[in-house]
Structures are given as C-alpha cells and as structure tokens.
Structure 1
C-alpha cells in the first residue's frame, strides 16, 4: 500500500518543490543526484518524499543549508518536521501516561530527587546504589538510598531481570488544579535554578526569559503552546540512545501586571 502524502506536512512539500524546480532547470536532473546533493541515500529520500518515513532530525540543519532556505522557510521547515516526527510519539506518551496524585505521592511530586532518579535509570551507566546516585545528583548517601527505595516501594521502579527501570514510561501529575505538592515542587525548582545560575558553567545550562504584551484571552493559547513544546522536547531528546546526563526543563509564564 502506498503512503499518502499529507499536504500539511510542509517540510516534505518544501523538499519536493526544490526538486521540481531543479528538474525544470535541468530535465535530466535525477532523484539520485538530488539525494547526493543533500548527502542522503536515494532510497531514504524517496521514502521521505512518499511520507513513508520522517526526515531524521539530525539532518534537518544540513537540509536547510543545502536547500538554501530563507529564514521564514527555515522556520516553517523545522516547525513542520518537529510536528511530524513527534506526532506519533505524542500519542504513545499520552496513551501510556500514568497519573500520580494523593497523599501517598506527595513527596514524589514535591521533591525533585524522585523524578531525577527515575530519569537516572535511563542512563547507560546507571548503578542502583546510593553511592552512585548521590554522586550523580550531588545529594547525601542517605537521601539517595531513601529516594531509590521509596520509588521501589511505591511500584514506580522495578527490576526487569537485568536492571532497574521505571514501571511507567511516562508519569504525569494533575493539571490546572491547585496542589500543595506542586507548589512545593515549583518552589524547589526555583531554588535549583538559583543554584545552577551560580554554580553551573554556561556551557552546561541555558536560562533565558521573554517579556511580552498580551491579551487576557491568550492565556489558554500560551499554555497549549508551552505544553506542546514540552512534548516536542521530550520526544526529540529523551528518545536518544546512550543517554549520559539528566536535565530539567522548567518553564514559567506569569503576569507582571496586577
């Protein structure tokens, strides 16, 4: 069965348009020559143009340069590619998301070390020892042991026969509901950010802000944009193999006016 090319997948249309333009100038110009110019295997390029596979994100910058796209087209290309690549991943994440709430999970939600340890288990060199955990997170041996054991006790972390792994591929908390645990978690995030600004080198962190004038009714749109961006970050980065570090993305959007 042949794949249908969705006209909304703009980056594919941009690639196809460039190919057609080159063929117009040179009728003998082939897909093989086009693929060679883009430094990609011809069969892979054919599959991408037929929407049988997505363009690897690692090749996006190279394609933008070699297709000589201007700023507007470059941005449209990246937006479309990210949306295409992450769409299926978003659906999988939503299907497997496990919601935690209630008193049993208050500490898990409110204290940053718990989610950090869950992510640590994805690292290629993970060791289920308090010493290793405390060294990687900069916490005490006692705290490392406490966090790890509580995750196991609450069935959020299990041993699959070869190593410890999270029981759920994605864990989420309640949204748009006032929560003491979440308030505590966000305040801890602020303390972490302060510490990283002072003690972490600039080549290992990125902190920026934006101040804008908006309409009151744009708040829900802003939240949707932020949530989609978080999903794209997770889909694009956490699927990488041989992970070496655990990072946290913290986003705040709040009014400066009364």
Structure 2
C-alpha cells in the first residue's frame, strides 16, 4: 500500500506541474479546458488533483495523446502506473487494448458518442424522448444507449444522480483495427453525405483537397491532424454549448504508390 500511495502522490504532483506549465503558457487555460482535452469530467479531474482519486493508466494514455508527449515524457508518465514486473506490465497493457476493442464494438452506433457530447449542453435532459429528438433516433435507442454507456462505465452518476463522462475513453488515434470502429466511421461518412444534402451550407463545412504527397511524411501528417483536431475542439467548445457536431478530417489514397510494384503500373 505504501508503494501505491507514493506512486499516486508522484502522479498527482506530475499532473499539477503539467497544468501549471500549461496555464503559464496560456492564461486562458483552465482545469475545465484540460478536462475537455483529455475527455474526462472536471469533477473526476479535480478529485485526481486533490488525491481523492487515483490517476489511472487509461487516463494517463489519453493525457499523453492529447498533449502529444514525446517518448521520454510518456515513459515517465506511464512508469507511475505500471508494475515494475515486465510480465505484469505486459498483461496490463493487453487488458487495456482488449477493453478498448470491446468498448468500441459495443458502442459502434454513432449516437453513443452523440449522447456523451449532449451532456455538455446546459439544457441536457436525461430523458429518452428529448435525446431521441435531439439526435433523430428512436426513444428505445436512446434509452438502451444510456444503459450501455453506464454499463461500460463511459458514463457514471455523481452523488446527486446526475450523469457525467468518466475517465473511460477509447480512441482510434492509435490505429487499432476493429469492426466496431469501421462500422462507426462508415456511419459518420454517411452522416456527412446526409448533411451535404439537407443542411444549410452555413451550418456545415465539407471540403477536400487532392494532392500528390510524400508518403514518408504520413506519420507526421497524422500527428499534425491530431493537433488540429484538439485545437479546433477546444476552440469550438468555448462558451455555452448548443449543438453536437462531428469533425472529420480525411486523408486517403486515390492512386497506387510509385513505391510499390511498378509492374502493376505498366
């Protein structure tokens, strides 16, 4: 227990210093803004900083992704939570990955993510009818989605019974292959086509550019896209939230690669 307490204190101090450095660089940065960046409720983050709740490995991973930490910083952060035994460390990492795939497969319908964002709207009502109208889904889908999100611990309730997002968050940014993820992305692309047809041009922005690229820079490009997503998310989330949007940035190959088998091109 003494080791766990020490690790918890170290992780708490590390996180406090991280937020202090962020505030120093940007006076407008806040605990709420940081909570949005790592997709956790301000209440949960506050309890972590006060030492009332342990910083989990799952949340540590999201912090590293959100702040685009380098290898050395990631190792420092992860060392607080992983066992000194390499065998236990491998097992814990495996559990984390398996849970990610399971959660995505269980939440493959797009409206699960829509509901988690509706919570940020001040006028949110935990009412299946209200949610169904907001997202254009059935009341049964809304009811079952809430129950599923609670069961998966994506959502939880505070002492007053109010819903909030927990530290459990799963992302496709680590390139995990999953049928659930593919299903979700297909739905989002279909929603984009639907928006193109029915939404006013002032309410949407669907643009693209066709370019000849250097494939060696793809990894770097994905990193820059991630930074853009986080920056735009923070920008659009400032102030009163009134509607749920999905931001998609597409970078897809439209031709064969000249680095491949040239016989295929002849």
Task: Please report the TM-score for the alignment, with normalisation by the length of structure 2.
Answer: 0.59
What corresponds to 1:168 in structure 2? 167
Q: 1:54 and 2:52 equivalent?
A: no
What corresponds to 1:250 in structure 2? 248
Which has the larger Rg?
1
What corresponds to 2:62 in structure 1? 97
Q: Distance in 1 between matches of 2:139 and 2:36?
A: 38
Residue 145 of structure 1: SS of its match in structure 2?
Answer: helix
Quote the offset at 1:122 in angstroms.
0.8
What corresponds to 2:114 in structure 1? 116
Residue 172 of structure 1: SS of its match in structure 2?
Answer: coil
C-alpha change, 1:55 and 1:208, in structure 2 (3 Å) is: farther
Residue 193 of structure 2: SS of its match in structure 1?
Answer: helix
Q: Is the 8 A contact 2:153 2:168 kept in 1?
A: no
Quote the offset at 1:97 in angstroms.
2.8
C-alpha change, 1:155 and 1:169, in structure 2 (3 Å) is: closer
What corresponds to 2:5 in structure 1? none
Q: Distance in 1 between matches of 2:245 and 2:206?
A: 13
What corresponds to 1:198 in structure 2? 197
Q: Is the 8 A contact 1:90 1:231 kept in 2?
A: no
Q: Distance in 1 between matches of 2:36 and 2:195?
A: 33
* Aligned pairs for 1:49-198 within 5 A: 54=26, 89=34, 93=38, 95=60, 97=62, 101-108=100-107, 110-160=108-158, 161=160, 163-168=162-167, 171-173=170-172, 175-198=174-197
C-alpha change, 1:55 and 1:206, in structure 2 (3 Å) is: farther
Q: Is the 8 A contact 1:159 1:165 kept in 2?
A: yes
Task: Please report the TM-score for the alignment, with normalisation by the length of structure 1.
Answer: 0.61
Quote the offset at 1:197 in angstroms.
0.6
Quote the offset at 1:52 in angstroms.
5.0
Residue 100 of structure 2: SS of its match in structure 1?
Answer: coil
Q: Distance in 2 between matches of 1:252 and 1:116?
A: 20
* Aligned pairs for 1:36-51 within 5 A: none
Q: Distance in 1 between matches of 2:236 and 2:101?
A: 30
Residue 189 of structure 1: SS of its match in structure 2?
Answer: helix
Residue 101 of structure 1: SS of its match in structure 2?
Answer: helix
C-alpha change, 1:197 and 1:204, in structure 2 (3 Å) is: same
Q: Distance in 2 between matches of 1:155 and 1:144?
A: 16
The number of equivalent residue pairs is 177
Aligned-residue Cα RMSD (Å) equals 2.9
